[in-house]
Amino acid sequence: MLGLRQERGLPVAAADGAGARREAEADVHRRLAQVRRAAGRWEQWDELLLSFEDRVRIEGPAELVYDFLYRIGDWPGRVPHVERAGVREDVPGIQVVSLDTCAAPGGRTVSTRAVRLCFPHAGRIVYKETLTPELVAAHSGEWSLLPDASGVTVVAAHQVMLRQEAVAPVLGAGTGLLEARDHVRAWLSRASTETLGLAKWHAESTVRRLR
């Protein structure tokens, strides 16, 4: 490759820079195309977008609950729907996570990737998926802890944009967006509720052992 660049009269650094620019331009064009597709569906946004939350009350310290949610790499073997978890945390509090889960209906394994920003002192973990399931065009969310005098309320919030063109191939011909909304909400809610329930068990059982 170096010889080819020299034969063409291109300095190595210039060739590398040109390649990086081409990749950046291609990425910009891909993102603009996504924006154009989304803008073309603005009349359907109320059907494509959904926002919801699940919450659970825990009689235990917020620190134990946060620790369970933060240690996502330990979820396989602890959270039944999580089959595999890969976590990279080059900077403390910034996690790049890849998950294989079987929370989807029918027992299908779904692979996702996300960036998680962890704020232990605020009791918050916010995330944005960079690889989503077929039915989901975009998914971001947050785990937030609301402590009080005797325990903590944990909230799992989701903001989702559906991928309309995937509805029929995944759920079957004739399936509408409202059915797809119910399907995705039930699926994500089931996963987050299961995780919250296990965080509750972890915190409350630890407190009982320490008494």
DSSP for 78-123, written as a single string:
TSTTEEEEEEEEEETTEEEEEEEE--SGGG--EEEEEEEEEETTTT
Task: Say yes or no: 33 and 131 in one domain.
Answer: no
Tokens of 4: 């080819």
Task: Say yes or no: 48 and 36 in one domain.
Answer: no
**Which residue numbers in the chain have pLDDT < 70?**
1-20, 23-24, 27-45, 103-107, 208, 210-211
The residue written with tokens 């063409």 in the block is 8
Task: Say yes or no: 142 and 103 in one domain.
Answer: yes
User: Each residue of 103-136: pLDDT tens digit?
Assistant: 655 667 899 999 999 999 999 999 999 999 999 9
CA distances from 56 to 29, 75, 102 (A): 42, 19, 22
Task: Say yes or no: 9 and 27 in one domain.
Answer: yes
Looking at the DSSP bridge assignments, the partners of residue 87 are 97
Let me know: does 114 contact 128? Beta carbons within 8 Å: yes
Determine which helix (DSSP H) or strand (DSSP E) holds 54, and give its type and residue range. strand 49-58
**What's residue 183's pLDDT?**
92
**What's residue 8's pLDDT?**
45
Q: How many residues does the chain have?
A: 211
- Distance in angstroms (rounded) separating the CA atoms of residues 11 and 161: 45
Let me know: does 164 contact 41? Beta carbons within 8 Å: yes
Determine how β-strand 94-101 pairs with β-strand 124-131. unpaired
**What's residue 40's pLDDT?**
55
Task: Say yes or no: 80 and 110 in one domain.
Answer: yes
- Distance in angstroms (rounded) separating the CA atoms of residues 94 and 125: 10
Task: Say yes or no: 62 and 146 in one domain.
Answer: yes
Quote the domain boundaries for residue 33.
1-40
**What's residue 141's pLDDT?**
97
**Overall pTM surpassing 0.85 (yes/no):** no
Comparing C-alpha atoms, which of 175, 81, 90, 171 is closest to residue 134? 171
**What's residue 61's pLDDT?**
92
- Of the chain, the percentage scoring pLDDT greater than 70 comes to 76
CATH of the domain at 64: 3.30.530.20
Tokens of 202: 């972890």
Task: Say yes or no: 21 and 112 in one domain.
Answer: no
Task: Say yes or no: 162 and 123 in one domain.
Answer: yes
Task: Say yes or no: 60 and 135 in one domain.
Answer: yes
**What's residue 17's pLDDT?**
58
Tokens of 67: 């620790």
**What's residue 6's pLDDT?**
44
Task: Say yes or no: 30 and 128 in one domain.
Answer: no
- Distance in angstroms (rounded) separating the CA atoms of residues 115 and 117: 7
Q: Give the count of domains, the chain.
A: 2
Task: Say yes or no: 75 and 17 in one domain.
Answer: no
**What's residue 206's pLDDT?**
83
Task: Say yes or no: 85 and 16 in one domain.
Answer: no
**What's residue 207's pLDDT?**
72
